[in-house]
Amino acid sequence: MSASALATPTPPPTFARPHAVRLAAAATGLWRVVDGVGRVIGHIQTLTSDGETRFRARRFHAPTRGFRDLGDFWSADDAIDCLVFSR
């Protein structure tokens, strides 16, 4: 995977998803995942350790006013799938 691909993960083609999603930069290494109607469904965070990059799917949990980690994935596409299909 190239350095530019790690800096800006892109969602997979919309035909593979029940709803179109887009990524919006939130901070360095952090993106909001936004559904087709403009609702934020979660965040993707880049984690780098020992030269390997993973992508963490996170969702806001209103009752505790914090984020819950849904899992770490080898690709941004898999992390996005986790957020889309776990709603």
pLDDT tens profile 34-84: 988 888 999 999 999 888 999 999 998 888 888 899 999 999 989 999 999
Say if 81 falls within a structural domain: yes
Say if 11 falls within a structural domain: no
Say if 28 falls within a structural domain: yes
Domains held by the chain: number: 1
Q: How many residues does the chain have?
A: 87
Say if 44 falls within a structural domain: yes
Domain span including residue 51 = 20-85
Say if 4 falls within a structural domain: no
pTM for the whole structure? 0.73
Neighbours of 84 (CB within 10 A): 20
Q: How far is CA 20 from the centre of its chain?
A: 14
Percent of the chain past pLDDT 90, that is, above it, reads: 41
Say if 10 falls within a structural domain: no
